[in-house]
Structure 1
Amino acid sequence: MKICFISRFYKPFVRGGAEIYVGKIAEKLAKKGHEIFVITPAPKNQNYAEKINNVKIYRISPLNIYNAYESLKKPLLSKIVYHSLDLFNLHSYRLIKGILKDENPDIAHINNYKGLSPLAFKAAKDLKIPIVFTAHDYSSICIRANLLNEKGEICENPRILCKIYNKIQKSLIQDKPDIVTAPSNFVLQKLESRRLFNNVKRIVLPNPVETRKRIEKDYDNIDILFVGSLSKHKGPQILIKAFKKLKEDNLRLHILGKGPDEDRLKELAKDDERIIFHGFLTGKELMDMYRMANVTVVPSIGHEVFGMVILESFMHSTPVVASRIGGIPELVKHGYNGFLFEPGDDNELAKVLNKFSGDPEILGKLEMGAYKSSKKYDIKKHIDKLEEIYRSLT
């Protein structure tokens, strides 16, 4: 099959899990003999094509006040103008439609599309190309993509501008895909609650990992791991507060990541030498931390879509203690591969972590559950399911 991936970012210019996913899947499918090409924004204001690992990449530069790669640095007013133009970006529509017309793929698989315009859906639909849309986050129902307000709290009542934006976006993408997938059932339920894609076939397709052999751990020290953005909605402050309630000397808390709250978190942790900040790690350094850890904590207070940190932890036989929120309970099974606690409750989290220091044998049982859980998310099974979805539309 000839498959087009549409993605806001693509390697080597990556920012998050969605584009890492697209890169892995595109290359795996190419290795299986499929013809793969990607449409993605260019990092500079020029259109060009290149090839990486047998995947052809079209990098395009739709007209706007800045490009997708500059969004983090811009003030609020600029972002409002940018997103407004992106909604109806006819230049992007023409560029994407032109590439699709020339390439004539069997499937268009749309992933994160901000910076390429929701009109990417129309470009494929107008050419009668079957569309699969994967909702990696909440961007189709929330301009911030995370269902949080400006304070980093769950948004219960969106501002009027957000409501207008979401209504327009909905009209542009509603019922355009033939199939919608998401990593968790929670995401699909959120889309359904906003009456988006209700007439479209929806499939839960969890994110995949490369499975490994079971790793044996030791318990001389109990190493607790946090991996993620050092931002309020990810809950590192809750973990630090919980950890400081524990007095055992054999406990270590390793915090990996960077973010806007880094200085405040270091101030919160400064009088406890057992808390170590490692900065942002990737590749082998990150995997070595998962391998070393006895437990990973995911203390989010926002609606996590799925949690690749959880799967990466399971992949290294490391159980997870996590907030009971969003798509997390679909992965973490209480007492089997980890424990769940109420979001924001540092007292409950401290009690859970205290179990491990008092009886480390609990960890051995959870490690087996984590290892077995990782097998369910093997990337080979994921590719097979994706091919099945594509074939159903051709």
Structure 2
Amino acid sequence: MRQHGAPAGDDGVQRAERCSEHLAVAGTDPALRDSRRVVRDPDQLPRARADLRRLRAPPRARNASPDAAVAGDPAPRRSRRRRRRRSALPAPGRPRPGHPGARGRGGPRVLRGDLLRTPAVRRRRAGRAARQARGPRPGCFDHGLTVDVLLVAHGYPPDRRGGTELLTAGLADELARAGHGVRVLAAAGVAGNPQVRDTTVESIPVRLLERPVPADYQLARADAGAQRQLELLIEEERPDVVHVQHTLFLGPEIIGTASRRAATVVSLHDFWAQCPLVHTGPRDHHPVRGDWWGAACFMHYELRHPLQLLGEVARGSLGATVKAHLERPRRFRRELGTADALVVPSAFLRDSFVRFGVPESRIDVIPNPVAVTPPSTERASNSVPVRFGYVGALAPHKGVHVLLDAFAAAGDGAELHVFGAAEDPAYAERLRQRATDGVVFHGSFDGARRDEVYASFDVLVVPSLVHETFSLVTLEAQTAGKPVIASRVGALPELVRDRVNGRLVRPGDGRGLAAAIGSLGDPEAVHRLRPQAAAGVLDLPAYAERLTQLYERVRAKRNP
């Protein structure tokens, strides 16, 4: 039997009549368009009779649906306007008038099959064929795995070994070890012309965007090249989730580029999205909220660089700089609103972004992971005098100079061991000149010596002058069983409880810090704080599992 709406002659009508007669005897249903199929349900008889009436009707009446015929409704007529509109459509294989593929209208004639051979489709098919050819392997996208994740960061080891870069590398290794697909897109500041380089770091495929660092990087201008490379990588690999670890050197628009193509998670490790000052202190307030948030950012950053400010005045570009500072937080706020989930390491940073204008319901607090080490008790019971330690960068905002002055004022014969690399050689030289007897500078160390470093002292001192969004060294010391003396600033009070597992002092208060050092100059005083020094923290596998649950949640939300 012909399809509904197709012309049928006497042959079709006679065959329908024979099917209807056979239906009364054997239950054959003409409505199934196959007289050889037998249906034993007598409820289909009205529909079959409606098909027969429609075939006997004039051609205009054949467009009525079978359900309308069963209900007894008259067959609707197709309007002349509808017929004219359908007759105006181009023939199959011919583009519409004005289409880019029409002759004389922007290019050669494009057949219908060519629409499936666009560059994006060709790249997607090539990427799929390449994955099928190479087969599954650790650290590579394969859609038979649980979650395919594309990590985006502003750097990656071994070229950059900052806290966020090392965390990104550790997360990539752990996800690959757990059987998930992992790929990394990272920026790399180099001198010379920009280029894109694909490499592999410990079995993890990494695409490096090598480019010079712009002079006005603090304004976080949009990077069209980085956005294009992210688009290509998403089209090639089709990840389930894009996890943006940091937007430094990439621009905030990288978030919107990712969220338009895949489920997107953004980690906020510091204040970069709020202010060019990545490390803000208690004095760096933002009294004005909303669209004028950037006015305080201009005051914070530009007034700390007077020579640069004078140069902008001389060039007549001061107005453009002010406008860029005002637009910067608006752009970040807009792009963060496109992400499916936001992750922060502490409740302090969550509250800060709520004041910035991000809804609290969209923020998940997941502490950064640490390597859990069994606590050691040998040093506290045997070391006289007590050994204090500092672990971190030798930078002014870390307050190392305050620590040296407080240690000299304490004067109880204790020792201070300083571990860390010098970010500013001039500042490091001033620290060495200020150091007194008992201060030992050990320089930087690699991760393999971490346990050895924390076993070499009894008390860790964190004298930060800025808001610490998360203190990894504090958690590492606590897992090693060490009390911590820390500044009462940022997220440090979440980790250190005064006179319970350490001491808290006002940031920059040398006298208060000296008093805290003196109160722990006795090994017995250190021992009284040690039983509560180890706090419950996440190791790397548990951290990856928490993020995997978040990935599955945003993927299910994006693709229900």
TM-score range, shorter chain: 0.7 to 0.9
> What is the deviation of 1:376?
2.3
* 1:139 counterpart residue number: 272
Q: Does 1:102 align with 2:236?
A: yes
| Distance 1:259-1:43 versus aligned 2 partners, 3 A rule | closer
Out of 515, 533, 539, the position equivalent to 1:370 is 533
Q: Does 1:268 align with 2:417?
A: no
CA distance in structure 1 between the aligned counterparts of 2:183 and 2:529, rounded to whole angstroms: 41
Out of 523, 547, 552, the position equivalent to 1:386 is 547
> What is the deviation of 1:207?
0.7
CA distance in structure 2 between the aligned counterparts of 1:259 and 1:99, rounded to whole angstroms: 34
User: Any stretches of 5+ residues in structure 2 without a counterpart?
Assistant: 1-146, 287-295, 300-321, 556-560
| Distance 1:200-1:61 versus aligned 2 partners, 3 A rule | farther
* Corresponding letter in the other structure for 2:202: N
CA deviation map 1:204-249 (0-9, x unaligned): 1111112122212232231111122222211111111111112222
Give the number of aligned pairs: 368
* 2:10 counterpart residue number: none
Out of 226, 240, 254, the position equivalent to 1:92 is 226
Question: Does the aligned pair in 2 maintain the 1:40–1:59 contact within 8 Å?
Answer: yes
> What is the deviation of 1:60?
2.1
The structure where helix makes up a greater share of residues is 2
The structure where strand makes up a greater share of residues is 1
Q: Does 1:254 align with 2:393?
A: no
CA deviation map 1:358-389 (0-9, x unaligned): x3222123222222x1x423223222211111
SS of the residue corresponding to residue 253 of structure 1 reads: strand
* 1:185 counterpart residue number: 347
* 1:38 counterpart residue number: 184
SS of the residue corresponding to residue 264 of structure 1 reads: helix
* 1:60 counterpart residue number: 209
* 1:22 counterpart residue number: 168
CA distance in structure 1 between the aligned counterparts of 2:248 and 2:551, rounded to whole angstroms: 23
Q: Which has the higher contact order (CA 8 A, sep 6+)?
A: 1
* 2:158 counterpart residue number: 12
Q: Does 1:112 align with 2:243?
A: no
SS of the residue corresponding to residue 142 of structure 1 reads: coil
Question: Does the aligned pair in 1 maintain the 2:501–2:532 contact within 8 Å?
Answer: yes
SS of the residue corresponding to residue 50 of structure 1 reads: strand
Q: Does 1:47 align with 2:196?
A: yes
SS of the residue corresponding to residue 14 of structure 1 reads: coil
* Corresponding letter in the other structure for 1:193: R
After superposition, where does 1:273-352 map in structure 2 within 5 Å? Answer: 273-352=437-516
SS of the residue corresponding to residue 147 of structure 1 reads: coil
* 1:130 counterpart residue number: 263
Q: Does 1:353 align with 2:517?
A: yes
CA distance in structure 1 between the aligned counterparts of 2:201 and 2:401, rounded to whole angstroms: 40
Question: Does the aligned pair in 1 maintain the 2:170–2:540 contact within 8 Å?
Answer: no
SS of the residue corresponding to residue 392 of structure 1 reads: helix
CA distance in structure 1 between the aligned counterparts of 2:508 and 2:156, rounded to whole angstroms: 34
CA distance in structure 2 between the aligned counterparts of 1:39 and 1:7, rounded to whole angstroms: 7
Give the CA RMSD over aligned residues.
2.1
> What is the deviation of 1:169?
2.8
Question: Does the aligned pair in 1 maintain the 2:372–2:476 contact within 8 Å?
Answer: no
* 1:72 counterpart residue number: none
Question: Does the aligned pair in 1 maintain the 2:252–2:332 contact within 8 Å?
Answer: no
SS of the residue corresponding to residue 292 of structure 1 reads: coil
| Distance 1:380-1:15 versus aligned 2 partners, 3 A rule | closer
CA distance in structure 2 between the aligned counterparts of 1:199 and 1:345, rounded to whole angstroms: 33
* 1:121 counterpart residue number: 255
| Distance 1:208-1:171 versus aligned 2 partners, 3 A rule | closer
SS of the residue corresponding to residue 26 of structure 1 reads: helix
> What is the deviation of 1:42?
3.9
CA distance in structure 2 between the aligned counterparts of 1:285 and 1:382, rounded to whole angstroms: 22
CA distance in structure 1 between the aligned counterparts of 2:333 and 2:551, rounded to whole angstroms: 25
> What is the deviation of 1:259?
3.0
CA distance in structure 2 between the aligned counterparts of 1:327 and 1:305, rounded to whole angstroms: 5
* 1:174 counterpart residue number: 336
CA distance in structure 2 between the aligned counterparts of 1:170 and 1:228, rounded to whole angstroms: 29
Q: Which moved more, 1:53-62 or 1:2-11?
A: 53-62
SS of the residue corresponding to residue 198 of structure 2 reads: strand
Q: Does 1:228 align with 2:392?
A: yes
CA deviation map 1:296-324 (0-9, x unaligned): 10011101111111112123221110001
SS of the residue corresponding to residue 241 of structure 1 reads: helix
* 1:70 counterpart residue number: none
CA distance in structure 2 between the aligned counterparts of 1:92 and 1:393, rounded to whole angstroms: 24
Dislocated runs of 4+, deviation >3 Å: 42-45, 152-157, 160-163, 284-287
CA distance in structure 2 between the aligned counterparts of 1:379 and 1:285, rounded to whole angstroms: 18
> What is the deviation of 1:153?
6.2
CA deviation map 1:137-162 (0-9, x unaligned): 111111131225xxx96455432637
* 1:202 counterpart residue number: 363
CA deviation map 1:13-64 (0-9, x unaligned): 22411111111111001000000001012455321212223321111246xx
* Aligned-pair identity (%): 25
* 1:219 counterpart residue number: 383
Which of 1 and 2 has greater Rg?
A: 2
